Amino acid sequence: MNIKSNPTQVRLEADRFLKLSDSKGTRVQCESGALWITQDHDATDYVLMPGQSLELEHGGDALVFALMDSQVLLQEPARSASPLDRFGRALLNTLESMGSWIGEHFGPDAINTRKFRHWYGAL
């Protein structure tokens, strides 16, 4: 699926369909009309009426067929973080916590609270 904006509103005339590729996690909402939805690897077909929605659970293709003139709202799933993204986030969190620890133990406040008085006992 390659939606240019998220969420995307699509108008389907009666007896027209929309093919969604790699649709796992996509949310399909019927704003008006009636929709029939079928997806790869799912033996169940779904009919959505106005106000109803369905999150597609299977990879592969899905067909959204308009049983009458319909307004459809499509929302792509949130992008999952790559292993590199997760590593970078963990590294930033570690550095942030280290920075606050260093500031707490070696910064100006550490001297004022005399946390290390034994280091400079004569002062």
52-62 per-position pLDDT tens digit: 999 998 888 99
Query: 39 falls in which pLDDT band (50, 70, 90)?
Result: very high
103 and 53 in a common domain: no
pTM listed for this prediction: 0.60
3 lies in a domain?
A: no
Place of tokens 């292993």: 83
Q: How many domains is the chain built from?
A: 2
- In angstroms, the CA 20 to CA 9 distance is 14
96 or 111, higher pLDDT: 96
Higher pLDDT, 116 or 6: 6
* pLDDT reading at 87 higher than 60: yes
CATH number of the domain within which 31 lies = 2.60.120.10
Q: Does residue 1 lie in a domain region?
A: no
Average pLDDT across the chain, whole number: 82
CA distance 24 to 62: 9
pLDDT of residue 63: 95
Token pair in block for residue 65:
């067929």
| Whether residue 47 has pLDDT greater than 80 | yes
* Domain assignment of residue 123, yes or no: no
- Report yes or no on 122 lying in a domain: no
Is there a domain that residue 120 lies in? no
Specify the length of the chain in residues.
123
Same domain, 65 and 97: no
46 assigned to some structural domain:
yes
Residue 119 domain-assigned? no
- For residue 70, what are the domain limits? 8-75
Statement to judge: residues 47 and 106 lie in one domain: no
Determine the Cα–Cα distance for residues 120 and 110; give it in Å rounded to an integer: 12
Q: What is the mean pLDDT of residues 85-91?
A: 83
